[in-house]
Amino acid sequence: MHGSCRLHSCIFCRRLFGAARPCPGNGRAAGDDHHFSVRAAWHPGGFGYRNRLGHLSSAGGVFRLSHCAGLVASVVCSLAGLLFGVPYLLSDKTPRIDGKQLELQFEFRAPSTVKIPDQPDGYSIRASLYLDNRQSEFAFIDWDAITENAEQVTIPGRIALLTHSKSRSLLASIGNAEEASQFIELKLLPSPRKEDETWSDWISATQRADLTPVPKLERFAIRYRVQPVDR
């Protein structure tokens, strides 16, 4: 027993490219109505397909289904690439130096009149990074490395740099009073460079968290550097 089904040749090419485009499988116009046959045969061992998947009814040559399947697969892959690739390319990436992620290390100084507790309590000393005037993350404060003398107290800390922000500033706070928090602008490019790995000069704060000016004798000061880290 033999059976066959007749399908229009290259239906994908006609729908994707129109009747005027040539079919890459047979070199003819996509609108030509050549057909191919897929035949099945019954034999004692059961029902099976011939090894040849199909042939053109004309003498044009052997029609291969693979070129249509490949065409559809390429279209699907292209759409998937646009769907996932474009957002990735447009998204902000973590800045790096020598292929490594970066950490902002800093020390900020406050007048000795500012009192800090002997033991860390999680809120008496805080520093948060502002990116493009928006608060990002709180920094780690190294309590064990805090030093004091008759004139000032020096507080070290660090925080990861995760974006190419146009502006960065640090809000340093000692105590809970609003006037105890001061903004300090960081002079860092969106993509830090090798020279940023050395300590900056000391930079003084000019305004409080409420944007009012800071009297000179009450100003915090900060110095910072960028360090590549393994994560």
Single residue among 55, 90, 125 that ends a domain in this structure = 90
Quickly state the pLDDT bin for 54 (edges 50, 70, 90).
very low
Q: What are the φ and ψ backbone dihedral angles of 11, each rounded to 5 degrees?
A: -65, -30
- What are the structure tokens assigned to 106, written together? 């800093």
Is the domain of 72 the same as that of 101?
Answer: no
Measured CA angle at 53 (ends 49, 59), to 5 deg: 130
Single residue among 56, 90, 124 that ends a domain in this structure = 90
**pLDDT for residue 11:** 53
Residue 227 or 6, more confident: 227
Is the domain of 145 the same as that of 188?
Answer: yes
d(CA 107, CA 115): 17
- To which residue do tokens 């027993």 refer? 1
Is the domain of 173 the same as that of 78?
Answer: no
**pLDDT for residue 184:** 94
Measured CA angle at 143 (ends 141, 149), to 5 deg: 115
d(CA 42, CA 2): 7
Is the domain of 115 the same as that of 219?
Answer: yes
**pLDDT for residue 68:** 61
Is the domain of 46 the same as that of 153?
Answer: no
Q: How many structural domains is the chain composed of?
A: 2
Is the domain of 111 the same as that of 66?
Answer: no
Single residue among 75, 90, 105 that ends a domain in this structure = 90
Q: What is the 3-state secondary structure (H, E, C) of 39-64?
A: EEEEECCEEEECCCCCCECCCCCCCC
Taking only the tens place, the pLDDT of each residue in 104-138 is 999 999 998 888 887 777 788 999 999 988 888 89
Residue 199 predicted with pLDDT over 60: yes
Exposure of 106 in the CB half-sphere (CA atoms within 13 A): 31
Is the domain of 190 the same as that of 118?
Answer: yes
Contact status, residue 198 vs residue 214, Cβ threshold 8 Å: no
Residue 78 or 219, more confident: 219
Is the domain of 142 the same as that of 212?
Answer: yes
Taking only the tens place, the pLDDT of each residue in 89-109 is 444 568 888 889 999 999 999
**pLDDT for residue 147:** 93
Per-chain mean pLDDT for the chain: 74
Is the domain of 82 the same as that of 45?
Answer: yes
Can you list the pairs that 55-59 forms with residues at least 24 positions away whose Cβ atoms lie under 8 Å? 56/9, 56/26, 58/34
Is the domain of 59 the same as that of 142?
Answer: no
d(CA 15, CA 86): 27
Would the pTM count as exceeding 0.85? no
Is the domain of 101 the same as that of 214?
Answer: yes
- To which residue do tokens 């499988």 refer? 25
Average pLDDT over residues 19-39: 47
Is the domain of 63 the same as that of 138?
Answer: no
Residue 140 or 8, more confident: 140
Residue 179 or 191, more confident: 191
| Domain span holding position 75 | 2-90
Taking only the tens place, the pLDDT of each residue in 7-28 is 444 554 555 545 444 444 454 5
Rounded alpha-carbon distances, angstroms, from residue 51 to 2, 38, 139: 15, 10, 68
CATH at 115: 2.60.40
**pLDDT for residue 67:** 55
- Among 186, 177, 189, 195, smallest CA distance to 159 is for 186
